[in-house]
Amino acid sequence: MPIETLGYADYKANALRDRQWKSYNARWPYHERAIEIVKSLNVSDAGKVLEIGTFGAGLVIGSDKMDLPNTSWSLPEHQMVIWHDAREIPWPFDNGRYELLIALRVWHHLHPMQCESFEEAKRVAQNLIIECPEKEVVGIGITREQFIEWNNGKSPIEEHDMGTWGRLYLWRGNA
Protein backbone atom coordinates (compact mmCIF):
# COMPACT_ATOMS: atom_id res chain seq x y z
CA MET A 1 0.00 0.00 0.00
CA PRO A 2 1.49 3.39 -0.95
CA ILE A 3 2.26 5.87 1.80
CA GLU A 4 0.28 9.09 2.11
CA THR A 5 2.02 12.43 1.70
CA LEU A 6 1.24 15.98 2.72
CA GLY A 7 -0.95 17.98 0.36
CA TYR A 8 -0.88 21.73 -0.07
CA ALA A 9 -4.15 22.33 1.84
CA ASP A 10 -2.82 20.56 4.97
CA TYR A 11 0.57 22.23 4.56
CA LYS A 12 -1.12 25.66 4.44
CA ALA A 13 -3.41 24.90 7.39
CA ASN A 14 -0.37 23.92 9.46
CA ALA A 15 1.54 27.02 8.38
CA LEU A 16 -1.29 29.34 9.37
CA ARG A 17 -1.11 28.03 12.96
CA ASP A 18 2.26 29.75 13.62
CA ARG A 19 3.54 33.19 12.59
CA GLN A 20 7.00 31.67 11.98
CA TRP A 21 5.58 30.21 8.75
CA LYS A 22 4.76 33.58 7.14
CA SER A 23 6.84 32.53 4.08
CA TYR A 24 4.93 29.25 3.62
CA ASN A 25 3.94 29.98 0.00
CA ALA A 26 7.57 30.59 -0.98
CA ARG A 27 8.61 27.41 0.86
CA TRP A 28 6.06 25.12 -0.79
CA PRO A 29 8.15 24.43 -3.95
CA TYR A 30 10.90 22.62 -2.04
CA HIS A 31 8.32 20.70 -0.01
CA GLU A 32 6.54 19.74 -3.23
CA ARG A 33 9.79 18.62 -4.91
CA ALA A 34 10.74 16.58 -1.83
CA ILE A 35 7.30 14.92 -1.92
CA GLU A 36 7.92 13.96 -5.56
CA ILE A 37 11.20 12.32 -4.52
CA VAL A 38 9.49 10.52 -1.62
CA LYS A 39 6.91 9.09 -4.00
CA SER A 40 9.61 7.96 -6.46
CA LEU A 41 11.35 5.91 -3.75
CA ASN A 42 8.34 3.62 -3.18
CA VAL A 43 8.89 3.45 0.58
CA SER A 44 7.05 0.42 1.95
CA ASP A 45 5.50 1.95 5.08
CA ALA A 46 5.25 5.35 6.79
CA GLY A 47 6.83 3.84 9.92
CA LYS A 48 10.02 3.38 7.89
CA VAL A 49 10.36 7.16 7.44
CA LEU A 50 12.09 9.49 9.91
CA GLU A 51 11.52 13.21 9.52
CA ILE A 52 13.67 15.69 11.42
CA GLY A 53 12.67 19.23 12.36
CA THR A 54 9.17 19.12 10.87
CA PHE A 55 7.48 21.34 13.45
CA GLY A 56 4.17 20.00 12.24
CA ALA A 57 4.86 20.03 8.49
CA GLY A 58 5.96 16.43 7.96
CA LEU A 59 5.80 15.18 4.39
CA VAL A 60 4.77 11.59 5.14
CA ILE A 61 1.55 10.99 7.06
CA GLY A 62 2.33 8.66 9.99
CA SER A 63 6.11 8.94 9.79
CA ASP A 64 8.36 9.00 12.86
CA LYS A 65 9.33 12.56 13.66
CA MET A 66 12.37 13.75 15.60
CA ASP A 67 12.22 17.32 16.83
CA LEU A 68 14.18 19.56 19.16
CA PRO A 69 13.20 19.18 22.83
CA ASN A 70 11.87 22.23 24.67
CA THR A 71 10.93 24.02 21.48
CA SER A 72 8.79 27.13 21.41
CA TRP A 73 7.11 25.93 18.20
CA SER A 74 3.46 25.03 18.35
CA LEU A 75 3.12 21.39 17.28
CA PRO A 76 -0.14 19.62 16.46
CA GLU A 77 -1.32 17.79 19.56
CA HIS A 78 -1.94 14.54 17.67
CA GLN A 79 1.61 14.31 16.33
CA MET A 80 3.89 11.62 17.75
CA VAL A 81 7.37 13.04 18.21
CA ILE A 82 10.70 11.65 19.35
CA TRP A 83 12.23 14.50 21.33
CA HIS A 84 15.95 14.43 20.54
CA ASP A 85 18.43 17.12 19.51
CA ALA A 86 20.04 15.93 16.25
CA ARG A 87 23.34 17.43 17.47
CA GLU A 88 23.46 14.85 20.26
CA ILE A 89 25.29 11.80 18.96
CA PRO A 90 24.43 8.94 18.80
CA TRP A 91 20.80 9.20 17.78
CA PRO A 92 18.41 6.81 19.57
CA PHE A 93 17.90 4.51 16.55
CA ASP A 94 19.37 1.20 15.42
CA ASN A 95 21.52 0.99 12.29
CA GLY A 96 19.34 0.82 9.19
CA ARG A 97 16.10 1.43 11.11
CA TYR A 98 14.64 3.61 8.33
CA GLU A 99 14.20 3.40 4.56
CA LEU A 100 14.12 7.19 4.35
CA LEU A 101 15.17 10.21 6.40
CA ILE A 102 13.82 13.66 5.50
CA ALA A 103 15.25 16.93 6.83
CA LEU A 104 14.15 20.14 5.13
CA ARG A 105 16.13 23.25 6.13
CA VAL A 106 17.47 21.59 9.27
CA TRP A 107 21.17 20.95 8.66
CA HIS A 108 22.24 24.60 8.75
CA HIS A 109 20.99 24.69 12.37
CA LEU A 110 23.12 21.71 13.49
CA HIS A 111 26.45 23.54 13.83
CA PRO A 112 28.95 22.48 15.18
CA MET A 113 27.74 18.88 14.69
CA GLN A 114 26.71 19.04 11.03
CA CYS A 115 29.16 16.41 9.75
CA GLU A 116 28.54 14.05 12.68
CA SER A 117 24.78 14.42 12.24
CA PHE A 118 25.14 13.61 8.54
CA GLU A 119 27.03 10.43 9.51
CA GLU A 120 24.22 9.53 11.91
CA ALA A 121 21.62 10.11 9.19
CA LYS A 122 23.52 7.76 6.86
CA ARG A 123 23.79 5.20 9.68
CA VAL A 124 20.07 5.05 10.41
CA ALA A 125 18.58 5.40 6.90
CA GLN A 126 18.96 3.93 3.43
CA ASN A 127 18.03 7.19 1.70
CA LEU A 128 18.30 10.81 2.82
CA ILE A 129 16.38 13.79 1.51
CA ILE A 130 18.09 16.92 2.81
CA GLU A 131 17.31 20.51 1.85
CA CYS A 132 19.95 22.98 3.03
CA PRO A 133 21.12 26.46 2.11
CA GLU A 134 24.76 26.98 1.19
CA LYS A 135 24.68 30.43 2.82
CA GLU A 136 22.36 31.33 5.65
CA VAL A 137 21.74 34.23 8.00
CA VAL A 138 20.36 31.96 10.74
CA GLY A 139 22.73 29.02 11.18
CA ILE A 140 25.71 27.86 9.14
CA GLY A 141 25.07 26.95 5.51
CA ILE A 142 26.64 23.87 3.95
CA THR A 143 28.03 23.79 0.44
CA ARG A 144 27.50 20.94 -1.98
CA GLU A 145 31.24 20.28 -1.79
CA GLN A 146 31.12 19.92 2.01
CA PHE A 147 28.31 17.37 1.78
CA ILE A 148 30.23 15.43 -0.89
CA GLU A 149 33.35 15.44 1.29
CA TRP A 150 31.31 14.09 4.22
CA ASN A 151 29.93 11.43 1.85
CA ASN A 152 33.40 10.06 1.04
CA GLY A 153 33.57 11.94 -2.24
CA LYS A 154 30.28 10.54 -3.56
CA SER A 155 27.83 12.92 -5.23
CA PRO A 156 24.14 12.92 -4.38
CA ILE A 157 21.82 10.61 -6.31
CA GLU A 158 19.66 13.61 -7.17
CA GLU A 159 19.83 17.34 -6.49
CA HIS A 160 17.75 20.43 -7.18
CA ASP A 161 18.63 24.10 -6.87
CA MET A 162 15.77 25.67 -4.91
CA GLY A 163 17.06 29.23 -5.24
CA THR A 164 17.37 31.23 -2.05
CA TRP A 165 16.07 28.26 -0.02
CA GLY A 166 19.13 26.18 -0.85
CA ARG A 167 19.74 22.82 -2.50
CA LEU A 168 17.54 19.75 -2.20
CA TYR A 169 19.50 16.48 -2.21
CA LEU A 170 18.79 12.79 -2.31
CA TRP A 171 21.70 10.88 -0.76
CA ARG A 172 22.21 7.16 -0.37
CA GLY A 173 22.84 6.21 3.28
CA ASN A 174 25.07 3.45 4.62
CA ALA A 175 22.15 1.48 6.04
Establish if 104 belongs to a structural domain. yes
* pLDDT score at 91: 97
* pLDDT score at 136: 81
In the DSSP assignment, the letter for residue 156 is P
Domain that holds residue 125: 8-172
Establish if 21 belongs to a structural domain. yes
Q: What amino acid is encoded at 114 in this protein?
A: Q
Q: Looking at the 3D structure of the chain, how many domains does it have?
A: 1
CA–CA distances in Å: residue 154 to residues 38, 57, 151: 21, 30, 5
* pLDDT score at 115: 97
Residues in the chain: 175
Establish if 3 belongs to a structural domain. no
Establish if 108 belongs to a structural domain. yes
Residue 103 and residue 63 in contact, taking contact as beta carbons nearer than 8 Å: no
Instruction: List beta partners, residue 78.
Output: none
Establish if 1 belongs to a structural domain. no
Establish if 2 belongs to a structural domain. no
Establish if 14 belongs to a structural domain. yes
Establish if 26 belongs to a structural domain. yes
In the DSSP assignment, the letter for residue 27 is H
At 45, which CATH number? Answer: 3.40.50.150
* pLDDT score at 16: 85
Q: Within a 10 A sphere around the Cβ of 78, how many other Cβ atoms?
A: 5
* pLDDT score at 79: 59
In the DSSP assignment, the letter for residue 60 is B
* Per-residue pLDDT tens listing for the chain (175 residues): 679 999 999 889 888 877 777 888 999 999 999 999 999 999 989 999 999 988 767 899 999 999 887 766 555 554 567 889 999 999 999 999 999 999 999 999 999 999 999 999 999 999 999 999 998 877 899 999 999 999 999 999 999 999 999 999 999 988 5
pTM of the model: 0.93
